[in-house]
Chain A
Amino acid sequence: MKFMKKKKGSTRVLSTGNEAIGTAAIKAGCKFYAGYPITPQNELIAFMAKNMREKGRAFVQAESEVAAINMVFGSSAAGVRAMTSSSSPGISLKQEGISYLAGCQLPALIVNVQRGGPGLGNIGPSQSDYFQAVKGGGHGDYRLIVLAPSSVQECFDFTLLAFDLADKYRNPAMLLLDAFIGQMAEPLVLSGQRIAHGVKKEWALTGAKGRKANVIRSLFLGEGYLEKWNLSLQKKYKEIEKKEKRWETLNCEESEILFVSYGISSRIARGAAKILREQHNINAGLFRPKTLFPYPYKELRQAAREKKAVFVFELSYGQMVEDVRLALEGEAAVHFYGRAGGEVFTPEGIASFVKKKMK
């Protein structure tokens, strides 16, 4: 635990985002972790290697990300809380397994600490896997529950939430963060978080004692069966969309323009809003989605009403901005500013872009 510095008697620790995820996973009762080393999430696999083993829980350094996601599949099928973590290229490898998890209705947590891409890219932060996380990635009509923390505290909180939501809906969930949040250290408050216990899993493979045999499958060859299965998945996704949207608004009522940003970008956007207010008398509000699926389309449209302009900032060349345009349906002008390739924009860079657009 390199960065977990704890003052005696305190429930406040200094932690990196990666280690906060590990801490929360253990608190949530995660009993199986499989992963493969890849920067920038190596602190998480190291944390799990030490702490899962110390607690007598299962840890496997798998032979590949493909193997890891399939081990998670097995563990989840056995009714156990299971997770894996990786970064962009490794998440690409996991896409088939993720589709299988969704198709078989298995809960699991997949952590993506995004890095520069495409291909081998670099190990800088990015938000370039939004499409992959939210719009598909794997084959078939499925959705992942996607949570986007913007702080070390949220890494912890959203991990607990992700396990709960995954169990509640029998669906895989993804924690979408980046190298910046994964590796930075911030204060983390451990107290007050209830320890989640999960739901009873009647469907799990626990040995057919006193019940009919359970089968975990996504294959339905008979006429109409797969369609019926898919319709039940779609019904589930509609329920998730209705009930599980989470977002944050800052200074949205009075502001003349609106920033829409998530994760680390939202922190930088807040810095830009401060510069614009103090130096240029431009009043910007912030709309920050916490869940990327389900996406708070309605709430965003509401927040954007009567704004002079909407600015979207992402560490990508424009992925979430498409959902913003979908949400607004022409309600306001949308401007996009992004940087990727492992580079990070600055509050000054964003502020200057906004100022130019406002002229």
Chain B
Amino acid sequence: MKAKFKKPDSLRDVSTHYCPGCGHGIVHRLVSEVVDELNLRERIVGVAPVGCAVIAYDYWDFDCSEAAHGRALAVATGIKRSRPDLTVFTYQGDGDLASIGLAETVHAANRGENLTCIFMNNAIYGMTGGQMAPTSLTGQKTITTPLGRDPQQGDGFPLKITEMLALLPKVVYAERRCVCSPPEVIKTKKAIKRGFLNQIENKGFSIIEVLSQCPTVWRKTPSESVKWVKEEMAKAFPLGRIK
């Protein structure tokens, strides 16, 4: 029998700790599929975030490093500048990339580091139980915005960091996708592949933002959470190619 759809080689054959329906599982697999298809396993290094995907390296079968919260793009800069022949990517959540790591994110992008950045946006701090994230929506109830995020009360607005990064000259590719449905999953995989190819072709900085469902912390069923991404998140964070 021939395998038509099977687990990619560079994805370890283990159960993940991610919640049922979580977007991480899908995107981890997409990364592995792209790594396999582009034959990158022996030259790729992934930098894990602090967040639910902190142990992403337990699921990928290639060289990986942890990073302090928010510093993945600085760590990736160090790796890439030291071994430019390697393909280096970061995989980060919204707190990691847009809150504590905002300076590292902006400056790695501004320097045009030849890196691929996969940005998993679930509009909340999942790992720590559900506090407001920079990308939380206006009105969204979280542990630290129990009455709903209110920009008029000093809670700030949902941060469209990918649009901001797109202003920088050496950010060569910025796209926002989601993994709500099979067609969207395919588009996300295409975007990730493009992000890696840009690096291989030394083009500059690529960022792929994935609106990712978080059923447990959003207090929704997986199906409801996918609906919320499509109908609510995508309103504040429009899907498509930004740059």
In the bound complex, do residue A80 and residue B74 qualify as a contact, i.e. CB atoms below 8 Å apart? no
Q: Tell me, rounded to whole Å, the shortest Cβ–Cβ distance linking A55 to chain B.
A: 14
User: Which of A184-192, A216-224, A227-235, A244-252 contacts the other chain?
Assistant: A216-224
A31 touches B82 (CB 8 A): yes
Grouping DSSP codes into helix (H, G, I), strand (E, B) and loop, the B interface class, with mixed when no group exceeds half, is: mixed
CB-based nearest A residue for B71: A70
Residue B200 at the chain A interface, CB threshold 8 Å: no
B76 touches A74 (CB 8 A): yes
In the bound complex, how far is the Cα of B47 from the Cα of A215, in angstroms? 10
Residue of A70, A96, A221 touching B78 (CB-CB under 8 A): A70
Interface centre among A60, A67, A96, A221 (most CB of B within 10 A): A67
Given A32-B78, A213-B61, A221-B55, A67 and B43 contact (CB-CB distance below 8 Å): no
Indicate if the CB atoms of B78 and A73 lie closer than 8 Å: yes
Q: Which residues of A contact B175 (CB under 8 A)?
A: none
A134 at the interface (CB under 8 A from B): no
Complex Cα distance, B42 from A206, in Å, reads 9
Interface residue count on the B side (C-beta < 8 Å): 36
Could you tell me if A75 and B78 are in contact, using CB atoms closer than 8 angstroms? yes
Q: Which residues of B have CB within 8 Å of A31?
A: 82
Q: Does B65 sit at the interface, judged by CB under 8 A?
A: yes
**Bound state CA distance, A217 and B50, in angstroms?**
12
A72, A73, A80, A97: the one contacting B83 at CB < 8 Å is A80
CA distance A76 to B43 in the complex (A): 17
User: Are B63 and A206 in touch, CB under 8 angstroms?
Assistant: yes
Check B66 against A219 for contact (C-beta < 8 Å): yes
Which of B62, B65, B77 is A216 in contact with, Cβ under 8 Å?
B65
Residues of A within 8 A of B63 (CB): 205-208, 213-215
Tell me the chain A residues, 53-105 only, with Cβ under 8 Å from chain B. Answer: 58, 60, 62-64, 66-68, 70-80, 82, 96-97, 100, 104
Q: Residue A78 contacts which of B42, B67, B82, B106 (CB distance < 8 angstroms)?
A: B82
Which residues of A does B touch, CB under 8 Å? 31-32, 34, 58, 60, 62-64, 66-68, 70-80, 82, 96-97, 100, 104, 205-210, 213-219, 221
Contacting pair B82 A215 (CB below 8 A)? no
A-binding residues in B (CB < 8 A)? 41-45, 47, 54-55, 57, 60-68, 71, 74-83, 85-86, 103-104, 106-107, 111
B81 lies within 8 A of A70 (CB) = no
A58 and B79 contact, Cβ closer than 8 Å, known pairs A67-B71, A209-B42: no
- Whether A104 lies near B66 (C-beta < 8 A) is yes
Residue numbers in A under 8 Å from B82 (CB-CB): 31-32, 58, 74-75, 78-80, 82
> Within the complex, which residue of A34, A58, A213, A217 is in contact with B66, where a contact is CB–CB below 8 Å?
A217
Instruction: Report how far A79 CA is from B86 CA in the complex, Å.
Output: 13
CB-CB nearest 5 A-B residue pairs: A74-B78, A70-B74, A74-B75, A70-B71, A71-B78
- The contact of B81 among A63, A68, A75, A215, by CB within 8 Å, is A75
Tell me which of A75, A82, A97 has the highest count of chain B C-beta atoms within 10 A of its own C-beta.
A75
A82 contacts across to B, CB distance below 8 A: 78, 82
Knowing A80-B82, A82-B82, A207-B86 are in contact, say whether A71-B57 is a contact too (CB < 8 A): no
Chain B residues with Cβ under 8 A from A71's Cβ? Answer: 74-75, 77-78, 81
Nearest CB in chain B to that of A210: its residue? B42
Q: Can you report 18 A-B residue pairs in the complex whose CB atoms are below 8 A from each other?
A: A60-B77, A60-B81, A62-B74, A63-B104, A64-B103, A70-B75, A73-B71, A73-B78, A74-B47, A75-B81, A78-B79, A206-B83, A206-B86, A207-B83, A213-B62, A216-B65, A219-B54, A221-B55
